[in-house]
Chains A and B, each alone.
Chain A
């Protein structure tokens, strides 16, 4: 069965869009007015008149409904002469026209309500100096797919969607069991450190609170029973440590499930489509030219299990928007090779020499860690001198981290690409094509100049990539070479 959609005339969203609009406005109203609730609650309740409140709430709800309907009625879009045209606005009418070549990617999304009433949200993202983001809140699945096709096809205003199965090659699919494996093997140290700091600062406040509850005495008795207060602190820190570890594992469990549930990467006509998500289903198309760099992340445990996480970094407009960094978890090495071959021209680094940063980088890192230690001990001195014992663990840890960081940083260069390794406990590998370079900077401090090293900073449309402490001669060669590659390239870079 085939269905035909004509986009040459203005069309509205699915009428279910009213419901979606309604909840969006309701959510916005609640979000902006929740501060008022505690104010209202602390007021004397005898002043309240229930019918008045009820009427006010009712009036607000009706206002929202009318607004939702008006938004729906005034939202029209069509395709004309290779551009997507959108009219919207109740009083402030706006007429947006986006040429096809400016469209970065088209995403499908379904939040909870949209899943319930079975409509799809289509987001059209563009990059460039001006930020234009178009979001069509409610379309039927078929219409959404047709629209996406129409936006990527050229000069087609009428699109036929075949309901027969499309030719799609599944690259990567993830089961619940694998998701579990991924979330357990994630690096919990980072979230742990954050949580620990959070709980520790919270503990200071909780302490005051406990005093008022007179629970403090019981706790003190318990701790004093364990002899000296240093031991008590140690005990408490251990408990906090274990507790926060458990919490961070749970948090990573939940977030991984919400984000990556039912992850599915498919290949269709040389374009990569990735869909994932539990509450909000999200599907993104990754176009070769939009991808500025990819990052492959793993950690020792995941490496043993053969799990690699891939970040596709695409061009962003304005501030870094994390939505445009698409994360695919739990890939195998082979799958990463497929991604690389799909996105990049030349991924052959077999004959290339591995470059390391100058050993000055190590000294720099040691110096920074030392500064950090001094600062931290200063803070300890203010709070309690008994905290100094943390240094016993901290100093070897910092030394280890510096050595690991130096060991893991390297880069490879071939005629088309740059591969940069970095990381401390985890390992991050960044792949970048020379011609996507937007700006290159060499930067050195007085000390670096004396040692003959510079930091090389590569700016892309999706952020910065820094190569720390490279010998000046090498850096200069790269500077000239990458600029040259970027300047002679005639390919589209975003």
Chain B
């Protein structure tokens, strides 16, 4: 007869996994990305709304402070979020942790992976970083992206998974 508890106690435990932080340099990439995002939003808002705001000059100050606060909050969340991004690769699966307000731990068994991609965006390339993208079958919700890995490490993981899938 099957006993659940016995097996459970012997099973590899995700909570005891040694999660590794992603590369420190990725924080710079995140900030740079944010600066571009912030600049685009600010310039866009300025051109869109400046004309209308002239009619209510008394609100303009509040409006811009609000935008600034929202942008600052996003930046703070991103920076905190950076320290929460952690990954772990085991023999048969890959796990990833992230999130500040809502925290996630997720695991994908290698056996269920359809294919793996390595992605290098301009900023990341400059710092010799890469992202790993993992695709499972079916709905796109089953995918996993791990950003900010040292390129060598990312390549190693990719090869490891590809080897596992093709076996």
Query: Which residues from chain A sit less than 8 Å from chain B, CB to CB?
Result: 127-129, 292, 315-320, 413-415, 437-446, 449, 459-464, 476-477, 479-481, 483-484, 486-487, 489, 493-494
Contacts and interface: CB of A to CB of B under 8 A. Distances in A.
Contacts of B13: 476, 480
A319 B8 contact: no
A486 B12 contact: no
A487 B138 contact: no
A463 B112 contact: no
B137 A461 contact: yes
Contacts of A459: 136, 139, 141-142
Given A441-B106, A443-B102, A444-B103, A477 B14 contact: no
Given A481-B7, A486-B109, A438 B136 contact: yes
Interface in B83-137: 92-93, 99, 101-112, 114-115, 135-137
Interface in B1-24: 2, 4, 7-8, 11-15
Contacts of B141: 459, 463-464
A320 B14 contact: no
A439 B107 contact: yes
Contacts of B106: 439-442
B137 A128 contact: yes
B144 interface: yes
A415 B2 contact: yes
Given A438-B142, A439-B112, A480-B12, 12 more contacts: A292-B138, A317-B138, A415-B4, A439-B106, A442-B104, A459-B136, A459-B142, A463-B139, A463-B141, A483-B14, A483-B107, A487-B109
Contacts of B15: 476
B102 A461 contact: no
Contacts of A493: 112
A438 B107 contact: no
Given A437-B109, A442-B105, A484-B12, A316 B139 contact: yes
A413 B107 CA distance: 20
A317 B137 contact: yes
B8 A480 contact: yes
Nearest to B134: A439
A292 B8 CA distance: 24
B108 A127 contact: no
Given A438-B108, A483-B14, A486-B111, A318 B7 contact: no
Interface majority SS (helix, strand, loop, mixed), chain B = mixed
A413 B111 CA distance: 23
Contact of A439 (B4, B8, B101, B144): B144
Contacts of B12: 480, 483-484
B138 A127 contact: yes
Interface-centre pick from A292, A415, A459 (highest chain B CB count, 10 A): A459
B140 interface: yes
A463 B4 CA distance: 27
B112 A438 contact: yes
Interface-centre pick from B2, B107, B139, B144 (highest chain A CB count, 10 A): B139
Interface-centre pick from A318, A441, A446, A463 (highest chain B CB count, 10 A): A441
Contacts of A128: 114, 137
Interface string B24-53: 000000000000000000000000000000
Given A439-B107, A449-B103, A476-B14, A481 B4 contact: yes
Nearest to B142: A459
B93 A483 contact: yes
Contacts of B2: 414-415
Contacts of A489: 111
B154 to A, nearest CB: 20
Contacts of B110: 487
Nearest to B108: A439
Interface-centre pick from B92, B93, B137 (highest chain A CB count, 10 A): B137
A445 B104 CA distance: 9
A408 to B, nearest CB: 24
Given A413-B4, A484-B12, A463 B107 contact: no
B8 A437 contact: no
A185 B123 CA distance: 59
Given A449-B103, A486-B112, A439 B142 contact: yes
A461 B136 contact: yes
Interface-centre pick from B99, B109, B144 (highest chain A CB count, 10 A): B109
B112 A443 contact: no
Interface-centre pick from A315, A316, A415, A480 (highest chain B CB count, 10 A): A480
Contact of A461 (B4, B138, B144): B138
Given A476-B14, A487-B111, A129 B104 contact: no
A414 B135 CA distance: 29
A487 B137 contact: no
A320 B109 CA distance: 22
B104 A446 contact: no
A374 to B, nearest CB: 21
Interface-centre pick from B12, B104, B105, B107 (highest chain A CB count, 10 A): B107
Contacts of B108: 438-439
A208 B8 CA distance: 66
A464 B139 contact: yes
Contacts of A477: 8
Contacts of B14: 476, 479-480, 483
B114 A445 contact: no
Contacts of B112: 437-439, 486, 493
B28 to A, nearest CB: 28
